[in-house]
Amino acid sequence: MSDDKKERHPDAGIVSFPLGLNAAQGSGGWIPAVMTQDDGSQTLGAARTIADGQPLTPGSSLLLRESDGRFRAVDLDHVGPAKVTSRVYREGYDRIFASSSSDNSVN
């Protein structure tokens, strides 16, 4: 049997900004970006910053700054609120959002 699985390029997911991070001025907030693909090829794209609390859209990638200063793109497989189902989380949720108006223990 042949192994069809290809090795991922060591720089796969690394994003660089050839015009610098300040290139967004006058361009609607978009910055030209180049991303290295799994096979080592590079693709041209664009990146922009978002304000705290602004929703992320499906298909977006989050750029994380690595310890060496480079940016790595991380695909967002799940966009939306976290789905926490632990017992402690549920108890806290019920305590905070209980419909009883007489319970003021949280406030």
Q: Which tokens is 7 given? A: 């090795």
The domain of 89 spans: 1-100
5 has pLDDT over 80: no
pLDDT computed for residue 102 by the predictor: 55
The predicted-structure confidence for 11-57, as pLDDT tens digits, reads as follows: 999 999 888 877 766 566 788 899 999 999 999 988 888 777 777 77
pLDDT category of residue 99 using cuts at 50, 70 and 90? low
The predicted-structure confidence for 46-77, as pLDDT tens digits, reads as follows: 888 877 777 777 777 888 889 998 999 888 77
pLDDT computed for residue 81 by the predictor: 64
Tell me, yes or no, whether 107 lies in a domain.
no
8 has pLDDT over 50: yes
Q: Where are the alpha helices (DSSP H) in the chain?
A: 87-97
Distance CA 87, CA 16 (A): 43
Tell me, yes or no, whether 16 lies in a domain.
yes
Tell me, yes or no, whether 93 lies in a domain.
yes
Tell me, yes or no, whether 20 lies in a domain.
yes
User: What is the pTM assigned to this prediction?
Assistant: 0.57
Q: How many domains are there within the chain?
A: 1
Distance CA 100, CA 107 (A): 13
SS3 93: helix
